[in-house]
Amino acid sequence: MTVKNVLQAIRDALDEELASDERVIIMGQDVGRRGGVFRATEGLIDRYGPSRIIDTPLSESAIVGVAIGASLAGHRPIAEIQFADFIWPAMDQIVSEAARMRYRSHGTWSCPLVIRTPYGAGIHGGLYHSQSIEATFAHVPGLKVVAPATPADAKGLLKSAIRDPDPVLFLEHKRTYRLIKDEVPDEDYTLPLGKATIARPGRHLSIITYGMMLHESLKAAEIVASEGIDVEVLDLRTLSPLDKPAILESVKRTHKVIIVHEDSLTGGLGGEIAAIIASEAFDTLDGPIVRVAAPDAPATPFNSTLEESYLPNTVKIEKAIRELAAY
């Protein structure tokens, strides 16, 4: 085991998959000599050359469209969209082509494609470098959506995504890149897509979350533990497909639930999770289903004070825990 941050774990996963499978290629804006805007692909072009680490024009639609074609030709492309905020020009390629390839060909064709993109706020990125896009894409059948929160999960899930026969949108919360550090296995390993994990066991209520909000939730859980409130924290890891059994089992253990996500409240993934719980575990609940999320504002503020006010954080989660525990 070696202590690494999320960015190092992602780079290691890319390196290992490139080395073990010659079909793997990486393509995107500045992924070559520059090593990506966050340096996720730094040094890879020196080891694998420009035919496998491919700098592309600034055209998200072309990046994903060409990657789809490459996947159909036998490659396993990893397309990097520099920021999730810029993914919208590629929406038609992702939704209408990649996600529907297996269905439209009656299983004759698959689209083994990974689209990596940094998402989320908390680094003063303002309007065009802070968006959370997961709810939009988790709505698309045929597309898997993954959002790891820790270095070990980032590596294991990315390796699984690269080996998956169908398209995967791999969301990397940019605030976790260098902030979150933990031990990562040195040996080759993968983690299954579609499986949540209990990041903290507890008895009194459950928090269901993912991405950077996992770490805010864990901090809040530790703080209220001194008050006698024992909180279970479930890290979804994969947002589509959701791990329904893990969600329901956690709620049935604790009988109260808070859903935390950075995306805006209305239409966020929390609404779908709440619907699952209300439909299949309503009779086990001892309180209302609570959501902690960003407000329905057009964008994340650039100003640091306003950004902090906008985002869910430890203090807001603590407040929700205390109110629900007392219900």
Indicate which residues carry an active-site annotation. Answer: 129
Beta-bridge partners for 26: 53, 78
- CB of 310 closer than 8 Å to CB of 325: no
Dihedral through CA 313, CA 314, CA 319, CA 321, nearest 10? 110
Q: What is the DSSP string of 77-119?
A: EEEEPSSGGG-GGGHHIIIIIITTHHHHTTTS-----EEEEEE
- Provide CB contacts within 8 A for 291, sequence distance 6+: 258, 259, 260, 261, 265, 268, 270, 271, 274
Residue 293 to residue 287: CA distance in whole angstroms: 19
Beta carbons within 8 Å of 282's beta carbon, 6+ residues apart: none
Distance separating alpha carbons of residues 202 and 224, to the nearest angstrom: 12
Report whether 145 contacts 240 (CB < 8 A): yes
Separation of alpha carbons 306 and 320, rounded Å: 21
Identify the CA nearest to 294 among candidates 224, 213, 204. 213
To the nearest 10°, report the CA torsion of 296, 302, 305, 309.
Answer: 10
| Tokens matching residue 91 | 């929406």
Q: How far apart are CA 189 and CA 115, in angstroms?
A: 21
Our CA dihedral for 202, 206, 212, 216, rounded to 10 degrees, sits at -70
